[in-house]
Structures are given as C-alpha cells and as structure tokens.
Amino acid sequence: MISDMSTRSNRNGILHTVPFLSLIGVGFLILGGCPADHRVSMADFLDAQQRNASPMEEAVSSQDILTLDKNLGPYRVGPGDILSVTLTRADQSALFPATLVRVDRNGEIELPIVRGINVDGLLLDEVDDKIRDAFIPGVLTDGSVYTELAAPDETNVLVFGAVSTPGLVPLRRTERNLLFAIVGAGGVSSLASGHATLRRLRRPGAEEAYDLHDTKSLKESLAADPLEEGDVVFVEAADQNSVFIGGLVARGGVQTYPDGTNVTVLQALAAAGGLQTDVHPKEGTLVRRMPDGSDVHVKLDLRRIATGQDQNLMLASGDILWVPETWQTRTLDFINQNFFMRAGVTVNYSVTGTEFLNRAGRIGGQSLQDQADPFGFLTRGSQIQGLSAQPAP
C-alpha cells in the first residue's frame, strides 16, 4: 500500500516519486491545530462602533445658555473701551459735538454736564438709553442719543499651528476665548485636526485641551476664564492618513492618502496588488487603535466582503490590515513547493522545458523563455542532458 501511494508512473515511462514523509508532513499541517482566535467578529465590532458614535444628547442647562449668550452675543461695553457719543436736541441741533469718552475701571463714563454714568456690561443701545436718562428731563426736555464703539479695549494672544494666518490676534473684551482667537487667525486650515491647546502665560505648565468637533468641549472653552495678554493657542495639524497593509498580499507596506480621503478594505487590498493567488487566502484581520489606547482585532471574511455579503469597512488612519497565514494557506504553500500536480495521465511530456516555454506563446514581444528563463538555466540544462545521452566513444 505504501509503495502504491509513494510511486507513480505515467504512460511515457517518466517516474515521479512522492516521499511518504511529505504526506505525513501535510497531515501534520492539517491536523496540527490552530491557536485560539481572540479576534472579534465584524458584527460585534460594528455594534460597538455604532454605540460609541451615537452618544445620548445632553440636556442644555439655563447656565449653558447664559454662557453662550454672554460670549457669542452682541458686544457689551466694558472698562478700557472708547465710545463716541452724539447727543441731539429735538430741533436736530447738537447739544455738543460728537464726544469720545473712555470707560474707566469702574465701568463709568463722564460727559459734559453729566458725570458718572455707569455703562459696564451694557449693549450699545442700552448705553444710549442710560445716557438719555441722564440728560432728560434734567438737562433737556427731549432729544436723542447715538453711541458707537470707537476703539475697543483689546488683548493680544498668539495663535499658531494649523490656522490660515498665524500670529498675534487682537481680541475685544467680550471675545477673549478660544473660538474668537482661532477665527481671528483666519480660522483653521485644511491641515487642522480639530484639536487645540491653550497655554496661559501667567500659569506656567498649565494646559487646556479642547476638541473643536465636540459641542461639549466648545462650551467648556467658552466658559473658561477669559484669555489674557500673551496667552498662546496652538491648533494641532492632523496626522497623515496612513494605513498599513501586510501579510499574504502582493505588495505590503504603508499607504498614505490626503487627509480626509476615505479608504475601504477592498481599496487598500487593490492598492497592495491584491491577495497572493497561489495560496488563496480567505480571511483578514483589522487592527484598530481605540481612544483608550487598546487595540481591537477584527476578523474579516475577505470573500464575503468582495462579494458584497459583508460590509466593506472604511479604514481609519493608523489602521493595520493584515492577511494572515492559516492552516489552509500553509497547506497550499506546502503542496505548491513539494508536489507536481498533473491534470491526467495522457499529458504529453515529450518536449523539453525550454521548447515548451517557447511553444506556449509570446507575451509583450518576448517569448516565455525570455521571461521565465532570462539567464538560460533551462537551455544549459537541456544541453547537458543532450551530452549525457550521447553514447560514449
């Protein structure tokens, strides 16, 4: 029985020996067992992603609304501002020319005739009413007041990183927050990641990090202490959109795409030259770094993805897409290296390898011999065989 399994001959009398130990080796590959698979299924992975991507909406408190109104609403007058005040009588004559006044540290302004008008924290139209009340009816029987902001008190902060116009940005009194600082620098550039860091000059070593994509983080930045002269805002640039492909693919390595480009599993495999066709891999592993620093390994059925039965996952920057070896691919690789498979016993092997390569056709203007045997090893082999077949003199 062993002899029948280990030796065979075709009709041309060519003998091929299959070592019995090779069959035992294949048996070990098939029966050797596999280590435990700790990968999560695609379904579980997608469920977890959905839960993380859909947080519950937070209730907006009245305090949040007051904070937003204070920091994003109309300008309110404060100490250091310079106002231009015009007071007109009912007959359209001016009581006095347009007057420039500075709001003092107590929030008050002084006008001719009337002094000590407190305007701290008022809107400009509220300042008009306050001045009008001070003059009418005590000084005038009727009239109108028009106030405009001539020169606001400004604080200079440094904004740099992934913004359109980095440099010193002047901020008015009610604009001294992260959002207005970035807008004053021309807004974020196309390279920005959406993350910003605030370093306060008067608090060495203290940093405040904010995510511009997150509503809660933005509200926190508006509720923070006002920016002061010399504070620094740094807008981080996005990392390169790179994915790493390896394993049983034609060309493994790093694939880098422009920021914002969406790349799927099948696109990344295609860019890597596809799967190795000699061992027919069927599965892959997606390795993704999670926000907590841990790695999750996702089992992918590449055939189901290719046929549309499973979702063609979108890869994230930093993902690793690995096509691993399995016992099936190892078995096929062993067979490819150790067995010469035939399609039947009627195959004609009467030609030499060189003749067969040249007879099979030409590709791109070159014979198959030129492509498969550029150094002439087969040619020299056939010549040696010819010499050995000649009778001795």
Q: What is the DSSP string of 219-250?
A: HHHHHSPPP-TT-EEEEEEPPPEEEEEEESBS
In DSSP terms, which residues pair with 156 in a beta bridge?
170
Q: Which amino acid is at 20?
A: F
| CATH class, 154-237 region | alpha beta
**pLDDT per residue rounded down to tens, the chain (393 residues):** 333 433 343 444 333 434 444 444 555 445 455 567 788 888 888 888 777 665 544 555 666 666 666 667 788 899 999 999 998 887 777 777 888 999 999 999 998 888 889 999 999 999 999 999 888 888 777 888 899 999 999 999 999 999 999 999 999 988 899 999 999 999 988 778 888 999 998 888 888 999 988 888 888 888 888 999 999 999 998 777 889 999 999 999 999 887 767 899 999 999 999 999 888 899 999 999 887 888 999 999 999 999 999 999 999 888 999 999 988 888 888 888 877 554 444 444 444 444 544 544 444 445 445 544 555 545 555 554 454 455 555
CB 208 within 8 A of CB 222: no
Range(s) within the chain of domains with CATH label 3.10.560.10: 38-52+241-325, 154-237
Which one, of 136, 216, 145, 230, lies nearest residue 181 by Cα? 230
Q: What is the pTM of this model?
A: 0.52
CATH 3.30.1950.10 fits 82-151, yes or no: yes
Chain position carrying tokens 């400004």: 154
Domain with CATH 3.30.1950.10 in the chain: 82-151
Report which of 268, 220, 217 is spatially closest to residue 241, judged by C-alpha positions.
Answer: 268
Contacts of 81 (CB under 8 A, 6+ apart): 102, 103, 149, 151, 152, 153, 173
Structure tokens at 187: 């807004």
Query: So what CATH class is 38-52+241-325?
Result: alpha beta
Nearest to 320 by CA among 273, 274, 287: 287
